[in-house]
Structure 1
Amino acid sequence: MPDHDAPPATGDTPYADLTPDLVLDAIEAFGHRVDGRLLQLNSYENRVFQIGLEDGGMAVAKFYRAGRWTDEQILEEHAFAQELLDAEVPAVPPLPLALVPERVPAEAAGGPPGTVRLMGTPPTLGVLGAHRLALSPRRGGRSPELEDPDVLRWLGRFLARMHTVGARRPFAHRLTMGVAETGRAARDSLADCPLLPPDQRPQWLAVADQALDLADEAFARVDGLRLRRLHGDCHPGNILWTPEGPHFVDLDDACMGPAVQDFWMLLSGEASERTRQLDALLDGYESVCEFDWRELKLIEPLRTLRLIHHSAWIARRWHDPAFPAAFPWFDSGVYWQQQADALRQQIDLMSRVDDTPSWLID
């Protein structure tokens, strides 16, 4: 049973009552018997646990942060994962859930209507009190060797297959990667943020506005830009490699956007290294489907949006005790000076005559 001494969850501390007992009880309430094994995995945004099942298998339980996604947005994530798997694209959709009334914790069972319910067809999202959760099979793997051109070509083919499925239809509820929704909304949320020191505020806002204007112009120059459903947060930490090839950890940040959004975070190192990496990725990608090479002009604008969005994300989560502990320098003048300098560098990169990333032409 849940720990009755646990503090209540609030908007500032949404996981305060998420004790090990409650986690295991929640899994059993939604139809999966556990054997008591539980390991919390790294995740700032959600709470994610590796769970031992009674049949000897392992699963991963994700407890979604309250207020971040709507139910409809989460169910679109689940449906996209299933659609990918149905198209034989390696993906890990959530397991179906089934409500087991006798396993529901007494505190939740006695709550108002809707306190305990299932959502989705088939049901993949469970609601237990203040918590929403999904359960997926555990899939192992290691980090991809991104210095290997053959690995990059394989990743390129994998992304092409994902994007082919993603282009079939749009998301109806999830976000669109763009300057307005991703960049300016983040900038505006920081404009009056007390964590942005007053002596750094004018210069940071000035360079953020200039950078966002240039990003807007870059997007406008790609006439007829095609948006599709994407992974959205495609960095090496979100890819696991197995002998059968790659798969993504999850689709929590799946969104509508240009295909290149799923490329640029896989590139690192000196200019020559990034160029070779991109060449290998696109070589694999174009063996499956066509890539709009004009989108390469959006790499630095997309990097700019991520810089601003990341700061806004930390600020929005500051009342969660995990965030001040993880980012103790966030409200310092040094951090915001560094962010302003990073945006100035982005302004320089986006101000090139043809706005093609300089490392592709140097």
Structure 2
Amino acid sequence: MILVTGGCGFIGSAFILDWLHQGREPVVNLDLLTYAGHLGNLREVDSQPAYRFVRGDIGDADLVARLLGQHRPRAIVHFAAESHVDRSIAGPEAFIQTNVVGTTRLLQAACEFWKALPESEAEAFRFINVSTDEVFGSLQPGEPAFSERHQYQPNSPYSASKAAADHFARAWHHTFKLPVITTNCSNNYGPRQFPEKLIPLMIHNALAGKPLPVYGDGRQVRDWLHVSDHCSALRAVLEHGKPGETYNIGGRSERTNLEVVHTVCKVLDEARPGCRHADLIQHVPDRRGHDRRYGIDDTKIAGELGWKPSTGFEQGIRDTVHWYLTNPEWVESVTSGAYRRWVEQQYPTIQAA
């Protein structure tokens, strides 16, 4: 079996659903259920014998040790993290506690478990540290995309905390020989993404007829990766990746934020004729320290593991919009009063949806 941390979040839940739908090994999901963790993400598998949910903190060393000893996973896939840049600017300490302290404690527990395994099991064991391209900083227009050799230059409290976690993961491999592999992915999108991120926020507000807040001039560039492609890349890394290595995972879909919002609006216009959703776009003051461009060079994972993304951006957006249109109860369940208060605080000129 495998142990997944943060499996009730957007990417973690997509990975678990995809994993179990393919009939792979059982999964234990350890998640603290903070604001972005949602049990409803896994409702379709929560009664399966191959799935078990445990509510708990990755920083709880005793709990993690008990789970490892009880279930003896062949791998840990570590998603658990505070992940939203805006929230890290408003409250950095939570990001340090979860992303740095929590990851370090998880690494230590995993190392103690791994050292006690029989040789054959120890050789097969893997710790997958799921990270972000934001650790590399910001690219200029025309500058080559991030490769695995790019210098770490994190610019936000969020990216700094993830960079620190990556360095600790590297140190646990180099010093203690724990078979760690780190992945650095670009911006994910798809079903069940908490609507504080760009694409689900635009869909949610547009459907309610609320303004669509776009930071600054909206020309910040991101590479967009459909979450299903991210899951397939992680499976390839888990099965064939080399311990101690890092792999960049991208969608080969660089777009400006404004292009993304207009694409979402176009798809919504087609789904709901008579509305021109782009009229709702409203530029708001830019985020502090906003990185201008991210881009992923996926040459390594393509060449070594034979992986490449399969979901085109336009089709991915159509599928994502369709999911939100047909699952309004999920959106309603996650957009609580706390969510509305956060939106009001973050976009003071925009009325929360």
Q: Which of structures 1 and 2 has the bigger CA Rg?
A: 1
Shorter-chain TM-score: which interval?
A: under 0.3
Normalising to structure 2: TM-score of the pair?
0.26
TM-score, scaled relative to structure 1? 0.26
